[in-house]
Structure 1
Amino acid sequence: MIADPAAILVGIALLSAAMCAVLIVLLRPLLQRYALARPNARSSHKIPTPQGAGIAVVGATLVVGGAFASVMGFAPLLMLFIAVPLLALIGLVDDIRPIPVLPRFILQGFAVALVVFTAPDDLRLFPIPLALERSLLLIAGLWFVNLVNFMDGLDLMTVAEAVPIAVTLVLFGLSAWLPWPATAIAAALGGAMLGFAPFNRPVARVFLGDVGSLPIGLLLGWCLLHLAWQGYVAAALLLPLYYLVDATLTLLRRIARREPFWAAHRTHFYQRATDNGFTVAGVVGEVFVLNIVLAALAGVSIASGSMAIDAILIVIGLAAVAVVLRRFSRPRSGGA
Structure 2
Amino acid sequence: MREYLLTLCITIAVTYLLTGPVRKFAIVAGAMTEIRARDVHREPTPRLGGIAMFAGLCAGLLVADNLDNLNPVFADSHEPRALLSGAAIIWIVGVLDDKFEIDALVKLGGQLIAAGVMVIQGLTILWLPVPGVGTVLLSSWQGNLLTVTIVLITVNAVNFVDGLDGLAAGMVCISAIPFFLYAYRIWYGYGLEAAAPASLFSAILIGMCLGFLPHNMPPARIFMGDSGSMLIGLVLAAGAISITGQVDPSALNLFAGSERDAVHETVPSYIPLVLPLTIIAVPAVDLVLAVVRRTWRGQSPFAADRGHLHHRLLQLGHSKSRAVLIMYFWCALISFGTLAYSVNSASMWIVLAVVALSGVGLVLLLLPRFRPRVPHWAESVVPPRYRRRRAALRRARAEAAAAREAAEAGRRPSAPTRTLNGATALRAGDDLEERRKAASSR
- 1:279 maps onto 2:275 in alignment: no
**Structure-2 residue corresponding to 1:129:** 139
Contact 1:269 / 1:329 at 8 angstroms: preserved in 2? no
> Residue in 1 aligned with 2:203?
187
Query: What secondary structure, in the 3-state scheme, does the structure 1 residue paired with 2:148 have?
Result: helix
- Residue 197 (structure 1) aligns with: 213
The aligned residue for residue 20 of structure 2 is 25
Instruction: State the 1:117 CA deviation.
Output: 4.5
Q: Among 185, 207, 216, which residue is 2:223 paired with?
A: 207
1:99 matched to which residue of 2?
102
The verdict on how the C-alpha distance between 1:42 and 1:79 changes in structure 2, with shifts beyond 3 A counting, is: same
Structure 2 residue aligned with 1:221: 237
For the 8 Å contact 2:172–2:279, the answer to whether it is kept is: no
Letter in 2 for 1:287: M
Give the counterpart letter for 2:46 in structure 1.
Answer: P
Taking a change above 3 Å as real, the CA distance of residues 120 and 162 of structure 1, as seen in their structure-2 partners, is closer
Match of 1:140 among 144, 150, 154: 150
Match of 2:329 in 1: 289
Q: Provide the residue aligned with 2:175 in structure 1.
A: 165
Alpha-carbon distance in structure 2 between the residues aligned to 1:255 and 1:29: 39
Superposition deviation, residue 121 in structure 1: 7.1
Q: Summarize deviations over 1:141-183 as a string: whole Å, max 9, x none.
A: 2122112111111101012211112221221233125722221
Q: TM-score with structure 2 length normalisation? A: 0.66
Give the superposition deviation at 1:264.
2.1
**C-alpha RMSD of the superposition:** 3.0
| CA distance, structure 1, for counterparts of residue 370 and residue 283 of structure 2 | 22
Taking structure 1 as the reference length, the TM-score comes to 0.86
- Amino acid paired to 2:365: R
- Counterparts in 2 of 1:330 and 1:113: CA distance versus 1, 3 Å: farther
- Do 1:66 and 1:185's aligned partners in 2 also have CA atoms closer than 8 Å? no
Gapped regions of structure 2 (runs ≥ 5): 129-135, 188-193, 250-271, 372-384, 387-442
Instruction: Return closer, same or farther for 1:31/1:332 CA change in 2, 3 Å cut-off.
Output: farther
Specify whether residues 329 and 81 from structure 1 end up closer, same or farther in structure 2 by C-alpha distance, changes over 3 A only: farther
Mapped contact 2:14–2:56 kept (Cα < 8 A): yes
Q: Are the aligned partners of 1:273 and 1:328 in contact in 2 as well (CA < 8 Å)?
A: no
Q: For 2:86 and 2:214, locate their aligned partners in 1 and report how far apart those are by CA, in whole Å.
A: 28
Percent identical? 23
Contact kept in structure 2, 1:36 and 1:48, CA below 8 Å:
yes
The one-letter amino acid of 1:193's match is C
What CA distance in whole angstroms lies between the structure 2 residues aligned with 1:123 and 1:63? Answer: 29
Specify whether residues 300 and 23 from structure 1 end up closer, same or farther in structure 2 by C-alpha distance, changes over 3 A only.
same
CA distance in 2, matches of 1:297, 1:202: 28
Deviates more, 1:217-226 or 1:240-249: 240-249
Q: Using the alignment, how far apart are the partners of 2:139 and 2:90 within structure 1?
A: 28
Please tell me the residue identity of whatever aligns with 1:37: T
Deviation at 1:32, TM superposition (A): 1.6
Matching of residue 261 in structure 1 with residue 274 in structure 2: no
Could you tell me which runs of 5 or more consecutive residues in structure 1 were left unpaired when the two chains were aligned: 1-5
Query: Do 2:82 and 2:123's aligned partners in 1 also have CA atoms closer than 8 Å?
Result: no
User: Number of aligned pairs?
Assistant: 323
Bigger radius of gyration: 2
Does the alignment pair 1:14 with 2:54? Answer: no
How far apart are the structure 1 equivalents of 2:363 and 2:163?
16
Q: Is 1:59 matched up with 2:69?
A: no
